[in-house]
């Protein structure tokens, strides 16, 4: 079954990748989501990270990096598979592996954002946005 181009919406993986591959559009979307002004961005749609056929690879819907070397992974999610936390962890680990050269100190690890744009409420709390950050409850760190 084919769908006419004019009937597509951003929840279609093809249109999502095409639309956000434009650096200005991607920058606008990321700015709206993270609430921070950005300058220049480099964008790659359907960016694959593959280390070995022995391990699961990852294909990022849209991978972007700003001029401060902060990386962003934008993913369209149409189905609630109840795995966003672990999927986010896996994507971040894959992105981290590619951001350090052998022997580089961990302090050089670049910041990254994993952004899921969902057509559903993944946590059922009625919020339009959920933000997760590392936090130590015991020492408020």
pLDDT averages per 10-residue partition of the chain, 141 residues: 78 85 95 94 76 60 91 94 92 84 91 94 95 89 85
Backbone angles phi, psi at 61, to 5 degrees: -55, -55
Distance set, CA 95 to CA 12, 52, 77, 88 (Å): 24, 15, 19, 11
Give the model's pLDDT for residue 129: 94
The DSSP code sequence of 27-47 is HHHHHHHHT-----EEEEEEE
Give the model's pLDDT for residue 1: 64
Give the model's pLDDT for residue 126: 97
Query: Nearest Cα to 71, choosing from 122, 31, 112?
Result: 112
CA atoms within 13 A on the CB side of 49: 17
Domains of the chain, by residue range, sit at: 5-118
């Amino acid at each position: 079954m084919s769908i006419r181009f004019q009937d597509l919406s951003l929840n279609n993986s093809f249109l999502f990748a095409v639309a956000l591959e434009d650096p200005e559009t991607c920058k606008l979307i990321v700015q709206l989501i993270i609430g921070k002004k950005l300058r220049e961005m480099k964008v790659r749609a359907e960016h694959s990270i593959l280390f070995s056929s022995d391990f699961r690879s990852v294909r990022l819907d849209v991978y972007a990096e700003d001029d401060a070397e902060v990386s962003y992974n934008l993913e369209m999610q149409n189905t609630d598979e109840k795995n966003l936390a672990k999927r986010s962890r896996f994507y971040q680990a894959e992105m981290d592996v590619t951001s350090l050269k052998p022997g580089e100190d961990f302090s050089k690890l670049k910041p990254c954002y994993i952004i899921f744009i969902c057509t559903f409420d993944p946590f059922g709390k009625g919020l339009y946005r959920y933000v997760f950050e590392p936090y130590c409850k015991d020492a408020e760190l």
